[in-house]
């Protein structure tokens, strides 16, 4: 394998650490961000994730992976979690967890689906639903560094109220001419909605993403079907398959 960079993280054992919930942010009716204090947290790269482990009173344990929403330099580590109906871990994290509660976590994990300002651009981010989370870490990192890499976010949500980080994204785009945020709403649009409707298709990608000649760095994250389609369209539009990095959130028990 030649074209995929494998400049790896240093060998370091990933030990379980205790995370303490400092604040909970209600993002949408089904999504919350957990702002966590983790002592001696090792700096992560935007796009990486953590494993979390919950232990019940009877000793029962369950592990899941969650993307990190915060940029590397923030004091608190942010995980944004969507409640998966009939899931085991996410309903607990979204509905039951409170400020001051603790659980275990280890990471950061993943060295492929990552972007830092030093990697350059232009940057084309494509998200579906909670697939925005690792991409938000990239956008926040870009903004904290006052980085002017041209960037576009194409973000598909079910309805206006399901858009995660909507106000922050709007404010970010308003402050920064180099960033364009394009929403599409698939199930319900409010009266007077002038944005896009329906799923991300080839025409929308052609219209919003930078052309292949500009060699954009492309990150696609969301439900498996959206990622599968968007990645295929991007390749069909002429983008180098190796420039298209994907992360799929499967329906897998949450």
Binding residues for another protein, rule: CB under 8 A, are: 1-4, 6, 8-9, 11-16, 18, 51, 53-58, 60-65, 86-88, 91-92, 96-97, 101-104, 109-113, 224, 228, 231-232, 234-235, 241-242, 244-248, 250-253
Q: What distance in Å separates the CA atoms of residue 46 and residue 23, rounded to the nearest whole number?
A: 21
Beta carbons of 11 and 113 less than 8 angstroms apart: no
Task: Choose between 23 and 88: whose C-beta lies nearer to another protein.
Answer: 88
Task: Choose between 30 and 45: whose C-beta lies nearer to another protein.
Answer: 45
Task: Choose between 12 and 146: whose C-beta lies nearer to another protein.
Answer: 12
Task: Choose between 111 and 150: whose C-beta lies nearer to another protein.
Answer: 111
Beta carbons of 150 and 178 less than 8 angstroms apart: yes
Q: What distance in Å separates the CA atoms of residue 50 and residue 64, rounded to the nearest whole number?
A: 8
Task: Choose between 101 and 161: whose C-beta lies nearer to another protein.
Answer: 101
Task: Choose between 54 and 117: whose C-beta lies nearer to another protein.
Answer: 54
Task: Choose between 79 and 234: whose C-beta lies nearer to another protein.
Answer: 234
Q: How far is the CB of 126 from another protein (least distance, A)?
A: 12
Q: How far is the CB of 45 from another protein (least distance, A)?
A: 11
* Residue matched to tokens 């599409």: 184
Q: How far is the CB of 77 from another protein (least distance, A)?
A: 16
- Work out whether strand 31-38 and strand 17-28 pair parallel, antiparallel, or are unpaired: antiparallel
* Own/partner pairs, 87-91, CB within 8 angstroms, 24+ separation: 87/253, 87/254, 88/62, 88/253, 88/254, 89/52, 89/54, 89/62, 89/64, 89/254, 90/64, 90/254, 91/254
Q: How far is the CB of 179 from another protein (least distance, A)?
A: 25
CA-angle at 181, arms to 29 and 232, nearest 5°: 90
Determine if the peptide bond prior to 142 is cis (ω within 30°): no
Q: Phi/psi at 71 (nearest 5 deg)? A: -75, 165
Q: How far is the CB of 234 from another protein (least distance, A)?
A: 7
Q: How far is the CB of 213 from another protein (least distance, A)?
A: 19
Q: How far is the CB of 61 from another protein (least distance, A)?
A: 8
**Beta bridge pairs of residue 180:** 152
């Amino acid at each position: 394998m030649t074209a995929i960079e494998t400049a790896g993280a240093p060998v370091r054992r990933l030990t379980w650490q205790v995370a303490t919930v400092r604040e909970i942010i209600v993002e949408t009716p089904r999504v919350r961000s957990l702002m966590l204090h983790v002592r001696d947290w090792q700096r992560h790269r935007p796009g990486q994730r953590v494993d979390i482990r919950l232990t019940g009173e009877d000793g029962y344990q369950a592990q899941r992976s969650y993307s990190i929403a915060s940029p590397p330099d923030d004091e608190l580590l942010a995980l944004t979690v969507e409640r998966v109906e009939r899931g085991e871990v996410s309903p607990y994290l979204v509905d039951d967890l409170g400020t001051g509660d603790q659980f275990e976590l280890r990471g950061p994990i993943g060295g492929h689906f990552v972007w830092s300002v030093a990697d350059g651009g232009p940057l084309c981010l494509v998200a579906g639903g909670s697939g925005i989370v690792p991409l938000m870490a990239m956008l926040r990192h870009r903004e904290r560094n006052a980085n002017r890499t041209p960037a576009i976010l194409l973000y598909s949500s079910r309805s206006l109220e399901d858009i995660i980080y909507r106000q922050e994204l709007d404010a970010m785009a308003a402050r920064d001419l180099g960033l364009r945020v394009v929403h599409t709403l698939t199930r319900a649009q409010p009266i007077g909605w002038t944005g896009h409707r329906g799923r991300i298709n080839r025409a929308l990608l052609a219209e919003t993403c930078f052309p292949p000649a500009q060699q954009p760095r492309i990150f696609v994250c969301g439900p498996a079907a959206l990622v599968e389609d968007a990645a295929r369209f991007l390749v069909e539009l002429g983008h180098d398959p190796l420039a298209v990095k994907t992360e799929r959130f499967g329906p897998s028990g949450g």
